[in-house]
Amino acid sequence: MSTKLAETIHPDLAAMGIPVEEEAQAYKARYALAVARIALGWTFVWAFLDKTFGLGFATERADAWVNGGSPTYGFLNFATEGKVFHDFFAGLAGPVADWLFMVGLLGIGVALTLGIGMRIAAASGALLLTLMWAAALRLENNPFMDDHLVYAVVLIALAAFGAGRTWGLGRIWDRVPLVQRFPLLK
């Protein structure tokens, strides 16, 4: 990367003593993290839309939330059958779990997609994914690791590295007075 381009990316590059190559890597990483953030955000938004309207992917129209279906009942009762914590998770199924799950999917997905509230989105998304991992324990393909835990780690990394500031509204969000007063909202 040329020095001129590096100075365009960060005008104080020389003053900070950061080699041009490291700044180039950070520049690329910001965009890679932005893509991961938007992709994960869409994953949560899509799950919300499919479960709400029964778009025929994971949820059939007859089982859609708008048609009286339960977005949590099938997973908590049947997907966990024979699993370590089946009785606990099956007991959670119902309207309260449905609302918490659906609001969580939408809130996490919108926050990630827009790049706002990354700390809360990452923490609540990691919690939701970890609970889904726990519900599926006695994993079929690996004794411990699955995609739920991988996504949870990625969510934490997205918040830690401020991924909402690239291709998102994170920079604007950070200047909101309420967010400045309560940094947890960043």
Give the pLDDT confidence score for residue 14 in this predicted structure: 56
DSSP 91-139: HH-SHHHHHHHHHHHHHHHHHHHHT-SHHHHHHHHHHHHHHHHHHT-S-
Task: Give per-residue pLDDT as tens, 12-32.
Answer: 655 666 666 777 788 899 999
Q: Is 81 exposed, middle or buried (0-12, 13-18, 19+ CB in 10 A)?
A: exposed
First to last CA, the chain: 32
Task: Give per-residue pLDDT as tens, 41-90.
Answer: 999 999 999 999 999 999 999 999 999 999 999 899 988 888 899 999 99
- With a threshold of 0.85, does the pTM exceed it? yes
Measure Cα distances from 123 to 33, 64, 72, 160, 171 in Å: 17, 27, 21, 11, 20
Task: Give per-residue pLDDT as tens, 142-172.
Answer: 888 999 999 999 999 999 999 999 999 999 9
Quick one: which of 126, 186, 133 has its CA closest to 156?
126
| Coil/strand/helix, residue 176 | coil
Whether 185 shows a pLDDT value over 80: the answer reads yes
**HSE-up (13 A, CA, CB side) for residue 57:** 10
Of how many residues is the chain composed? Answer: 186
Give the pLDDT confidence score for residue 13 in this predicted structure: 56
Whether 186 shows a pLDDT value over 60: the answer reads yes
Give the pLDDT confidence score for residue 79 in this predicted structure: 85
Whether 124 shows a pLDDT value over 80: the answer reads yes
Give the pLDDT confidence score for residue 19 in this predicted structure: 64
Q: Among 1-5, 33-37, 72-76, 145-149, which stretch is predicted with the lowest mean pLDDT?
A: 1-5
Query: What angle is formed at CA 113 by the lines to CA 79 and CA 70, rounded to 5 degrees?
Result: 30
